[in-house]
Amino acid sequence: MGGLVERAVLAAELELLRASEPAPRVVLANGCFDLLHVGHVRYLEDAASRGDLLVVALNTDESITRLKGEGRPVVTLTDRAEVIGALACVDRVTAFDEDTLEETLRALHPSVHAKGTDYTSETIPERHVDSELGIEIAICGDPKTRSSTDLLERA
């Protein structure tokens, strides 16, 4: 559905949507999505099935470098946002530069926080914010047997 929407702009848009009847069930998924693979698609499709509107928060290039090391990301934020936004299951794409999703959860206040199967509800770093804000946690996708890092190593 397009490219990147600034987090503050998206927060205002979601606030207006939540004021409508019926208010949409907003699902927030996040990740690097450096090299898109089938595991990412399955995660996002499953996440989208948990609500009415899927928002994907992408790590910025700088945050990926902090997380994954020099040489990452391979694909720039702008390009990653365009690719993720082109998926039929994705409604909006935003970005976050922090090391956790806490600030984004507080700003967007989704109904559902979707995480991949490499997490449990107990291991999600932002679980205390989810609990505080009444955000449901959904573990989505198939078993984590694929990764961008593995793809890069094989290439």
* Phi–psi pair at 19, nearest 5 degrees: -80, -15
Q: What's this model's pTM, rounded to 2 decimal places? A: 0.91
Q: Which of 36, 9, 21 is nearest to 147 (CA)?
A: 36
Token reading at 62: 């700088």
Q: Which residues of 60-91 are buried (b: 16+ CB within 10 A; e: fewer)?
A: bbebbeeebeeebbebebeebbebbbebebbb
**Which residue ranges form the domains of the chain, and what is each CATH number?**
7-154 (3.40.50.620)
| The pairing of beta strand 112-116 with beta strand 136-140 | parallel
Low-confidence ranges of the chain (pLDDT < 70): 1-2, 145-155
User: pLDDT digit string (tens) for 117-153?
Assistant: 999 999 999 999 999 999 999 999 987 766 666 655 6
